[in-house]
Each structure stands twice: as C-alpha cells, then as structure tokens.
Structure 1
C-alpha cells in the first residue's frame, strides 16, 4: 500500500541497536539526534497534516468515529490549541 514508508517506520531503531552503534561513535550519535529533531517537522502534532483535512471532510459530511484521533484526542487537541495560541501571540504560524 505505501509507496513511501511512514517516517516513523524509517526512523525506528531499537534501544539495543542504538547502544551498540552509538556507544562507539559519538559523532554518529550526534547526527542521529539531529535527524530525530528534523523528524519532528513531519510528525509533531501541532501542524495540520493530511489526516486533519480528511477527518474534517468526513465530519462536515456528518460522519464521526472515535478513531478520528486528530479531532477527538484530548491530548492532540490540547497540543493544537497551544500551537494556535503561540502562533497568534508570536505573530507567526504555518
């Protein structure tokens, strides 16, 4: 189904692998930490993503499901509210 794997799959390393690889090479560990920070640009829930738009479409058409996490999850909704309030007070946003 996926032509491109989700980034969370590509960026997964088990703890054992990380210890094995990074204990020998601090520079590599630093590079990995930089990549993990960049990953957040694509996975952090304070930005609109395609599922936000899809869920909005179905909600507008009268459908609802507890699986619509982006519109129903209290934690995600709190993160989104904080992001909106920060964008408004900082004068920026996506």
Structure 2
C-alpha cells in the first residue's frame, strides 16, 4: 500500500474528480437532456458503484483493525474520538 492510499489522499482526489465529472454531466443533462441524459445516468451509477466498493473496502479495513483495537460505531462511521483535544 502506497503512502498516498494509506493517508487517504487518493480517495479525496478521486472524490473531487468524481464530483467535478458529475457536476459537468448533470449541468449538461439539465441544459440539453436529449444529448446528455444517458451520459449523466452512467456517471451517476458509476459513482454510486464506486462509493459502494469504497465503503466495503473501508469496512473490511476497519474489521481487520478491530482485531487489535477497540472501535465503536461512533468512531467507525462518524469519526468520534478522532478530533485533537482542545
């Protein structure tokens, strides 16, 4: 695993790229639905599938980590306890 994937930067980069592509196709489909309707649907479905795969991967990483550390639902899904103390 590269450092970029380990610190989550790659996921953030892909997230921004996906948001940009989705925005472009959604706006294009709004302006000219006949031409861009199907590309917008395909992009939305691909982003949905990518999100499901990323969620499953993150969950499996958390399951593996939970064998050595105590992880609660709040910490797993909402980041509870991950903020620096004041």
TM-score by length of 1: 0.47
Aligned to 2:48: 40
- Shift of the 61–3 alpha-carbon distance from structure 1 to 2, 3 Å rule, reads closer
**Using the alignment, how far apart are the partners of 1:48 and 1:29 within structure 2?**
29
Q: CA RMSD in A?
A: 3.2
How many residues are aligned here?
A: 64
Q: Does structure 1 residue 63 correspond to structure 2 residue 47? A: no
Q: Report which of the two has the higher share of helix.
A: 2
Once the 2 structures are TM-superposed, how far is the Cα of residue 67 of structure 1 from its aligned partner? 2.3
TM-score by length of 2: 0.51
1:55 touches 1:68 (CA, 8 Å); kept in 2?
Answer: yes
Runs of 4+ in structure 1 off by over 6 angstroms are none
Gaps of 5+ in 1: 70-94
2:26 touches 2:40 (CA, 8 Å); kept in 1?
Answer: no
